[in-house]
Structure 1
């Protein structure tokens, strides 16, 4: 469940928006599981 940790770090501001987008782009699991939910936040 590493995508949970990545998302948490992003929300805290530890990761840049660019890094987060690249991470999602390179991991279909993340994109399919939290992509839409994150946008709706």
Structure 2
């Protein structure tokens, strides 16, 4: 997940400061990653 977010989705740095905000941004990016995986899987079926 981390490699895909950094290389393909352009997440080189977090946009926010503070642990809570960084965790929130990480969760949103992970949610987006998983949603895209589900979308790609649904297209194959």
Between structures 1 and 2, the one with greater helix share = 1
TM-score of the aligned structures, taking structure 2 as reference length: 0.31
Larger Rg: 2
